[in-house]
Amino acid sequence: MCYNVLDRHVKEGKLGEKVAYYWEGNSPDHHMTITYRQLLSHVCRCANVLKQMGVKRGDRVSIYLPMIPELIVTMLACARIGAVHSIVFAGFSSESLCERIMDAQSSVLVTAGKLLQHQTYAICLDVTCCCTRSCKMKLRDVWWDEVMRDSPDECEPEWMDAEDPLFILYTSGSTGKPKGVVHTVAGYLLYTSLTFRYVFDHHPDDVYWCTADIGWITGHSYITYGPLANGATSVLFEGLPVHPHVGRFWEIIEKYKVTKFYTAPTAIRLLMKYGQEPLRKYDLSSLRILGTVGEPINPEAWRWYHEVVGQGRCPVVDTFWQTETHLTSNPDFIFQTFPFFGVEPAILNEHGEELEGVTEGYLVFRKPWPGIMRTIYKNQELFENTYFRKFPGFYVTGDGCRRDKDGYYWITGRIDDMLNVSGHLMSTAEVEAALMLHQSVSEAAVVSRPHKVKGECLYCFVTLKDRKNSDQSAVFIFSVREKIGPIATPDFIQNAPALPKTRSGKIMRRILRQIARNEKDLGDLSTLADPKVVEVLFNQRSEAA
Ligand code: WTA
């Protein structure tokens, strides 16, 4: 992998002096240019450092870094020596980080001091040492700058098998425990490289910018591997779209003459709120193709993206895919999708029967393609159960889908117990488990509620052990942020004296969803053990977190 994304361009392709990344820091005063040759040299140094620390082919390395060049250097250094990287999004809490380090049994963590709290450092060290025999957490023992300075900048790549693992990336599981999705070297290289090239119509003089975080699959594929495999020049942005002003995205597009721009509907909806004024100050005429990913895009956001950002002349590519599957879709002028080469979708009904023509149902895939995940790390059984058990012979995406008369696929959103908040996928079980950790909570149920900017947000019903306890919303919100991270901050917390349950004790989430959305027409309530509960919950709806 590393040879293909770096050495090949520098040594064979004469792209050594080409810019690989324009790094733009959170503050506009911080920026830097990195050529392919410089990147290769940093990667080799880092690879030697990792080797020096005892990391060998097949070992796992956890990475918990903000969007700085060191993040890309470390992931490629892992690839170079055949170590498996496990990147944890920096917006996750330190507890989430610990959980992932333990599951992957990483021997090294590469991190930036400002992200780690004192306490966590202790926990990580402790737990990891107990769990793995030979693990040495070097954490504060070595400083990046010091070890990099003394490290040689040549390092022969480790030659890997096509099916060797390249990385683990955790995604939410319906049980609440994250699943370590495993991708392998050759299939992932092929699909990131091809989809990047064809979906974004890559040309050598493009300046490409994907605003995702590398802590998510979109960043892995479309900031690091896909663009580098094509010898592309990308923008790497550490900051926020509204800092220090709401025109920051547009300013960066003008500054680097970005030609291809890839972002998420949640960012578009956020920026739409400020109107057209912030865009008018900047020259966006370099833009040629716009992309969107992460969640279904609503018509209003799509139109604004197309007409205001793209000035009506740039195709919008809506790319549907998952951490697990590597695929993207075709450029088109409307937010609908055709499958990429090698991907064969089908739509099934509840009974697993295939539906033809204009229809709606479960989106599944008929056969695998090289870029699809290989397993869940150390849990092949969970892999089979999660993706292949419901409809034997098909991969189940967990998404709903509609096919129109022209054969386009329209993704309608998750139809399992997953939530998509600002493009971040999480499971209701995961948030419920975090709430239940609080000593005063006896039961919790979490549902989604539509949100203008985030797409969906978290509405939590909480039953307290002691009913007389006063409102503790702020405390619960804090504990979820501590446990999972700020991305899972609940928007609404409602005290629920009881939850609506069937006679067999199953929580009726459909009803809770309707209460959260204030939809009065509840339909058939005859299966409820105690229908009065619903009325009480309706009367006490929460309108603010
Ligand atoms: C959703 C992100 C509609 C979907 C790349 C999927 C989308 C989940 C789109 C995967 C899109 C992603 N239109 N929905 N263009 N892209 N999704 O694993 O529900 O973080 O199953 O991968 O995001 O999220 P993940």
Q: What pLDDT was estimated at residue 130?
A: 27
Question: Is 320's C-beta closer than 6 angstroms to any atom of ligand 1?
Answer: yes
Distance 425 CA to ligand 1 centre (A): 8
Distance 294 CA to ligand 1 centre (A): 4
Q: How far is 140 from 161, CA to CA, in rounded Å?
A: 34
Q: Which long-range contacts (CB under 8 A, 24 or more apart) does 269-274 make?
A: 269/298, 269/301, 269/452, 269/453, 269/455, 270/241, 270/242, 270/453, 271/241, 271/242, 271/246, 272/300, 272/301, 272/304, 272/308, 273/453, 274/246
- For each successive 10 residues of the chain (545 residues), what is the average pLDDT? 98 94 95 98 96 93 92 97 96 87 90 54 35 39 82 97 98 84 96 93 97 96 98 96 96 98 94 95 97 89 96 92 76 60 90 95 92 96 95 94 88 85 89 90 92 94 83 90 93 92 82 91 80 89 64
Residue 292 alpha carbon, nearest atom of ligand 1: 15
438 contacts 444 by C-beta, under 8 angstroms: no
Distance 399 CA to ligand 1 centre (A): 9
Question: Is 213's C-beta closer than 6 angstroms to any atom of ligand 1?
Answer: no
Distance 427 CA to ligand 1 centre (A): 14
Distance 341 CA to ligand 1 centre (A): 19
Question: Is 456's C-beta closer than 6 angstroms to any atom of ligand 1?
Answer: no
**What length does the chain have?**
545
Q: What pLDDT was estimated at residue 134?
A: 32
What token pair was written down for 133? 């025999």
Gap between the terminal Cα atoms of the chain: 46
User: How many beta carbons lie within 10 A of that of residue 141, not counting itself?
Assistant: 9
Distance 291 CA to ligand 1 centre (A): 13
Residue 324 alpha carbon, nearest atom of ligand 1: 18
- Best of 211, 295, 326, 340 to mutate for ligand 1, by most ligand atoms within 8 A of CB? 295
Q: Is 317 strand, coil or helix?
A: strand
Q: How far is 100 from 165, CA to CA, in rounded Å?
A: 17
Residue 366 falls in which region: left (phi positive, over 0), alpha (psi -120 to 50) or beta: alpha
Residue given tokens 């027409």 in the structure block = 521
61 contacts 108 by C-beta, under 8 angstroms: yes
Q: What pLDDT was estimated at residue 158?
A: 98
Residue 293 falls in which region: left (phi positive, over 0), alpha (psi -120 to 50) or beta: beta
| ipTM of model over 0.85 | yes
Q: What pLDDT was estimated at residue 135?
A: 36
Q: Is 503 strand, coil or helix?
A: coil
Q: How far is 490 from 431, CA to CA, in rounded Å?
A: 9
User: How many beta carbons lie within 10 A of that of residue 120, not counting itself?
Assistant: 16
Q: How far is 447 from 318, CA to CA, in rounded Å?
A: 26
Phi, psi angle pair for 358, to nearest 5°: -70, 120
Q: How far is 425 from 216, CA to CA, in rounded Å?
A: 10
Residue nearest atom 5 in ligand 1 by C-alpha distance: 322
Cα–Cα nearest to 542, from 482, 491, 480: 491
Cα–Cα nearest to 287, from 320, 311, 319: 311
Q: How far is 8 from 57, CA to CA, in rounded Å?
A: 21
Q: What pLDDT was estimated at residue 120?
A: 39
Distance 411 CA to ligand 1 centre (A): 9
Taking only Cα atoms into account, the Rg of the chain, rounded to an integer number of angstroms, comes to 24
| Per-state percent for the chain, helix, strand, coil, to nearest 5 | 35, 25, 40
Cα–Cα nearest to 168, from 377, 336, 421, 431: 377
Question: Is 218's C-beta closer than 6 angstroms to any atom of ligand 1?
Answer: yes
Per-position b or e across 303-333, b if 16+ CB within 10 A of its CB: ebbbebbbeeebbbbbbbbbbbbbbbbbbee
Question: Is 38's C-beta closer than 6 angstroms to any atom of ligand 1?
Answer: no
Q: What pLDDT was estimated at residue 141?
A: 58
Distance 265 CA to ligand 1 centre (A): 11
